Structure 1
Amino acid sequence: MTPAAIGLILVSALLHACWNLIGKRTAQTVRFYAWAMGLGMLLFSPLLVWEWSRVSALPVTFWGLLLASGLCQTLYLTGLAKAYTHGNLNIVYPLARALPVLIVPLVVLGVYGQSQLGTEDLLGMGLIILGSLALPLAHWRDWHWRDYCTPAIRWVLLAACATAGYSVLDSLALLIMKQQGMSAFAAGSSFVVLQAAACLVWMLPLIRWGFGESLRALPDLGWTLLAGSFIIGTYLLILVSMTMVSEVSYVVALRQVSIPLGVVIGVLWLQEHVSLPRLQGLAVMLVGLLLVSL
């Protein structure tokens, strides 16, 4: 990976951990994320207006990928919101971030029939997954398979699968935009606004008729606007970095540097307890991250 791509991903990881903190601390509802996505979309909409002449000329295949990506984003935010109602940040966040590291390469292999990942990459991804298995544990002696069958873990699995889905779909959509002559920033900045709109297309009916929540009650405006700007901004950096790598699996893996950041934030700001198995699991995950990024 290039230094530029690594730098963008590291900044994105910090912003990602921050907006998850806001989501956990402020409001654990799908409605909160809908408002955040909407406000973030409006804030970044000038980027789409600037590129609209080229965006409007994109082929039908692109718009199909965009709609499918919006569905995956909706499932991701729904899984995240529901998981936070049942679990702590220092458990939910690392698992939701780590599991796509395993899922995305499998999806890429299924879509393309081949993978560019080397032995060190696969070893690093394996360590990330092994480390994540220790996160739900308070004590090693208390290990039981039921630790992974809680409501929080089930929602995390939904969020992780959805993350893998939109990561691969977005990579394909960006490839089409680049083939149409758009630069990395032009493609990423316009797509992130379009994806937010596609997400709302799925999310608003789900909130109203699926969860029976009212959209009229606006969560705290300041926190919601900040979360929305972080959500859109962090993924803009990721989309640009996707155009700088040979395979999206690298980006998905290195993004997990936000995992220790999320745990530190949970401990310092939310006063969450971190057990020895969780610390050991995080250490193993960090080794895996280093292997992937080298």
Structure 2
Amino acid sequence: MTLTAFLLILVSSFLHALWNYRGKKFSPSPAAFMVTSFLVFSVASPILVWRHDILSVITPETWLLLALSSVCQGIYYTGLGIGYQKGDMSIMYPLSRAMPVLLVPPMVAMAGTGAALSNQAIVGMMLVVAGGLLLPLSSFQRDAIKRYQKHIVFWAFLAALGTAGYSVIDDHAMSLIRQELDIPGKPYWVAIIYIILQMGGTGLSLFLLVSCWPAQRRQVKGLLQDNTRLLFSLLFKNGLFIALTYILALSAMAFVDNVSYVVALRQASIPIGVLMGVFWLHESAPAPKCCGVVLLVLGLVMISF
């Protein structure tokens, strides 16, 4: 992994953890993520006119990949939002972030789009997953393990499946666009244009879901009815953070030979988030959480080098 990729992913991970830290009062849901996606797309869409040169090289194959990626994003936000509503964030977040580390490598191998992983990286990824599974536990006793409620595991897996899907698809789509533009060393504008289009597509995929979901439709009405302050918060405190976080991750994909490295290293947001919770929110730090952080950091170091 290059130093550029490492730094891009590290900054992206910090912003992701910061967004989750700041978003503790934000009630995530498919409806809220739909509104957020449309808000970001609306505000950023003039950039598409300015950089129409990038739009002009997007092939039908890439548009199809972008559509599939948007569906995967919708699946991710649905799993994440409902999971947060049904259980603790301290359980849902590590589970949904750790599972893609196991899901992406076999998906990449089946797609044939990445180089083989080193043995050291594979061990590092296993440590990252183990650390993520330990974080939510308050102790090593059997009763503590019951915190992994079945319904939480389902929604966490759904979110992880969406993450794995859009990660593999986006890596291939971004590669196709960079090839058409012949700018492999300057992927940042490609990432910006891609995320704007993806935000619009994600909003549309969630709109189709929300339209068939009465409870979510009511939430949309509540968000849109004379609630300018909330919409402003969704845009600037959540939407732009989400966009910037993933722009950095998309840019990093140009500097690695297997997207699995990006997905694994992005889990640096987990220990960063834990440290924010312990030092800023004065949350407890039981033995499993400390062990989990140690395993995560060790795994991330092995992946990076």
TM-score (norm 1): 0.92
Please list the CA deviations of residues 173-196 of structure 1 after superposition, one character each: whole Å capped at 9, or x if unmatched: 001101111531221111000111
Secondary structure at 1:217's aligned position in 2? helix
Secondary structure at 2:222's aligned position in 1? coil
1:129 positional shift? 1.3
The counterpart of 1:209, out of the listed 208, 212, 215, is 212
Instruction: Let me know the Cα RMSD of the aligned residues.
Output: 2.1
* Separation in 2, partners of 1:114, 1:244: 12
* Separation in 2, partners of 1:88, 1:266: 14
Equivalence for 2:189: 186
Secondary structure at 2:291's aligned position in 1? helix
Q: Is the 8 A contact 1:22 1:223 kept in 2?
A: no
Equivalence for 2:255: 244
1:200 positional shift? 1.0
The counterpart of 2:234, out of the listed 220, 224, 239, is 224
1:268 positional shift? 5.2
Change beyond 3 A, Cα 1:66–1:280 = same
Q: Is the 8 A contact 1:116 1:247 kept in 2?
A: yes
Change beyond 3 A, Cα 1:274–1:45 = farther
1:104 positional shift? 0.5
* Separation in 1, partners of 2:26, 2:115: 40
Q: Is the 8 A contact 2:114 2:259 kept in 1?
A: no
The counterpart of 1:198, out of the listed 201, 216, 224, is 201
What is the identity, as a one-letter code, of the residue corresponding to 1:185?
Y
Please list the CA deviations of residues 163-182 of structure 1 after superposition, one character each: whole Å capped at 9, or x if unmatched: 00000000110011011115
Equivalence for 2:118: 118
Equivalence for 2:303: 292
* Separation in 1, partners of 2:79, 2:291: 26
Question: Any unmatched runs of 5+ in structure 1?
Answer: none
1:271 positional shift? 5.8
Please list the CA deviations of residues 17-53 of structure 1 after superposition, one character each: whole Å capped at 9, or x if unmatched: 1222344422132222122222222333233222224
TM-score (norm 2): 0.89
Percent identity (aligned): 37
The counterpart of 1:262, out of the listed 273, 277, 281, is 273
1:130 positional shift? 1.5
Equivalences, count: 294
Change beyond 3 A, Cα 1:211–1:103 = farther
Please list the CA deviations of residues 192-240 of structure 1 after superposition, one character each: whole Å capped at 9, or x if unmatched: 0011111011101211213532323226133212200001111111111
Question: Any unmatched runs of 5+ in structure 2?
Answer: none
